[in-house]
């Protein structure tokens, strides 16, 4: 299937974040997530059953991954990637305006559709 950018709806996640579901099947999903610079230094964590890979298209971000035993914090920048196993707490804060991440999820996130 083809997904043309001009036909894809932009969703507002919060006052700092918007996203577009670029392409998806039942088992795989690509999502472009766009950020303004964070207004706070706190990293809010979340988890989901979906396995996730994130690629930094633009900007820099401070990510935290909490696997239940250790918390790892690292700053990533354009060209870097991150893997999040299923049900692993994680989150990020954008360190500059106009940051963009490309997220891949498996299976696809029905809550994004």
1 pLDDT higher than 90: no
Q: Is the pLDDT of residue 40 over 80?
A: no
**Mean of per-residue pLDDT scores for the chain:** 96
CA–CA gap between residue 48 and residue 112 (Å, rounded): 12
Tokens 């706190």 -> residue = 42
Looking at the predicted structure, is the pLDDT value of residue 38 above 90? no
pLDDT higher than 90, residue 20: yes
Which segments within the chain are labelled E, that is strand?
A: 11-14, 17-24, 29-35, 51-58, 60-66, 71-77, 81-84, 89-94, 99-106
Pairing of strands 81-84, 51-58: antiparallel
**Segment 68-93, tens digit of pLDDT:** 999 999 999 999 999 999 999 999 99
Q: By C-alpha distance, which of 64, 53, 57 is closest to 96?
A: 57
pTM reported for the whole predicted model? 0.94
């Amino acid at each position: 299937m083809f997904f043309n950018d001009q036909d894809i709806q932009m969703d507002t996640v919060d006052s700092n974040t918007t996203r577009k579901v670029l392409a998806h099947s039942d088992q795989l999903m690509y999502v472009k997530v766009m950020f303004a610079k964070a207004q706070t230094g706190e990293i809010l964590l979340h988890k989901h059953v979906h396995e996730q890979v994130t690629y930094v298209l633009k900007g820099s971000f401070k990510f935290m991954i909490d696997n239940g035993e250790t918390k790892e914090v690292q700053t990533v920048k354009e060209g870097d990637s991150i893997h999040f196993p299923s049900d692993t707490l994680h989150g990020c804060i954008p360190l500059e305006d106009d940051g963009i991440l490309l997220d891949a999820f498996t299976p696809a996130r029905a809550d994004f559709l």
